[in-house]
Amino acid sequence: MSWTNIITGWRNHFIPPEELKEVIKQVSEERLTICEQCPLHSKHLKNSLRPDAHCTSCGCTLIMKTKVLAEQCPTGKWKAIDININNQNEH
Ligand code: SF4
């Protein structure tokens, strides 16, 4: 995950852009539901020192990664969202 996307993810977590707020919330919830059922979720680790729920494949913090619309699951369980498609009907 690039530094740009990491910054975007935390920005979207704490202060999401107003016009994307609902999309980000919905997409993140759907992705987190999938992650919760995934064997690569950090909750399955016995001796992890990291307190955050993260993906053991890519290492990313899930509450942040799932809020980056352009990100995707490293094993293909959820896809990137093309935000241009979402905005097409707004003009
Ligand atoms: S990002 Fe993908 S591989 Fe990682 S925990 Fe979520 S569903 Fe599993």
Ligand 1 centre distance from Cα of residue 35 (Å): 5
Residue numbers of the domain that contains 59: 3-90
Angle at 42 between CA 58 and CA 34, to 5 degrees: 80
Smallest CA-to-CA distance from 57 within 68, 73, 69 is with 73
Instruction: Using 70 as the pLDDT threshold, list the residues of the chain that sit under it.
Output: 84-91
Pocket of ligand 1 (CB under 6 A): 34-35, 38, 40-41, 55, 57, 73-75, 77
The reported pLDDT for the residue numbered 82 is: 85
- Look at the chain and report how many structural domains it folds into: 1
List 61's β-bridge partners, or say none: 54
Residue 4 to residue 41: CA distance in whole angstroms: 23
